[in-house]
Chain A
Amino acid sequence: MQDFDYWEPDSLAEAVTILSALKGQAFPLAGGTDLLPKLQKGQVSGSGVVNLKHVPELAGLGMERTSLRIGALTTVSSLLANKEVSTYFPALAGAARALGTPQIRNLATVGGNLCNASPAADLAVVLLAYEGRFKLAGPGGARTLAAQDFFIGPGQTALTQGEILTAVEIDIPPLHSRSAFLKHGLRKSHEIALVNAAVQLTLESGTDKIAATRIALGAVAPTPLRVRTAEAVLVGTRGGSAAWDEAAEKVMAAVAPIDDIRSTGAYRRHIAGVLTRRALHEAWGEAYETANHA
């Protein structure tokens, strides 16, 4: 393994300056759970590592009025331990719990999982369903991107040279909403998803009518995928297995999964449908409870 230069900026401005100056030749380091094996196996080459752990602007996890701000350095295990996350964002808690292993969750960060831009990233699919706002800072200043605009391709994001993901914000879902996250792999732990899915359903108060829905899937396309065609068929309906089937059909039509060592594309497509149905069913049950018995 080649040695590299090492920087440890302690402010956002410094981090941006260093990354900009290195012109893509250095890797930002957060949790390191993806980067270190790649460096060791020589799968990536660069001249340096910029450790972002000491950048205070990237830290923090907490409510800011009606939204949750997740600093990019937030570890997956601290998401899991957070009360607001488990109360308002059960799909996020579910995805955090499904990610890696306990040891990896203690290291891996939200920012790393997102910037790594794996099409199978567990947190990405959930933040897509929660319509996360990705806060970026770079040489040209700060900007905000919608989740779906952040992911461009496998391993590719909208980050420009020297730009850093600082935080993701997600709004507390409306009343009578419920979300669910499901992951399919061969094991119950320690898995990269064959397919993962996150949904959110919002019911009209006091009814069983679906006011809004969001459906997102991972590992079925070059990027985590929001499937608006499937969402559209559910709005205004009262849910139920026929509705879930119809949404699942739309999902299966929208996805474009590949064959790889872990699965065939055909199986992924099928599982995308199953997970959609099951996640909708799960979210529906809980949403119905809140809409009608709260």
Chain B
Amino acid sequence: MTINKTQNGNELVISLTGRLDTTTAPQLDDELKTALDGVQKLSFDFSGLEYISSAGLRVLLSAQKVMNKQGSMIVKNVSEEISEIFEVTGFVDILTIE
């Protein structure tokens, strides 16, 4: 998985490409530990994301919790397969998907 970050003031866009699974989720988790400092508007761009498992969902959930305290978070360009995973797990109600 590759993580691409674009920061503009207090806005951060994180684009993920590849697979967010048990092996790669810790990479994103580490990145977010420092990257979210001072961020008020976080967007995840999933146009290149092919796959997500519960390990990836856990990282998204903790990012959402952080952003609930300091601003807002949106997830965009979600594929049909990943949308379905968000649906069965109730993540459609937790995340703001555009």
Are the chains A and B members of one assembly? no
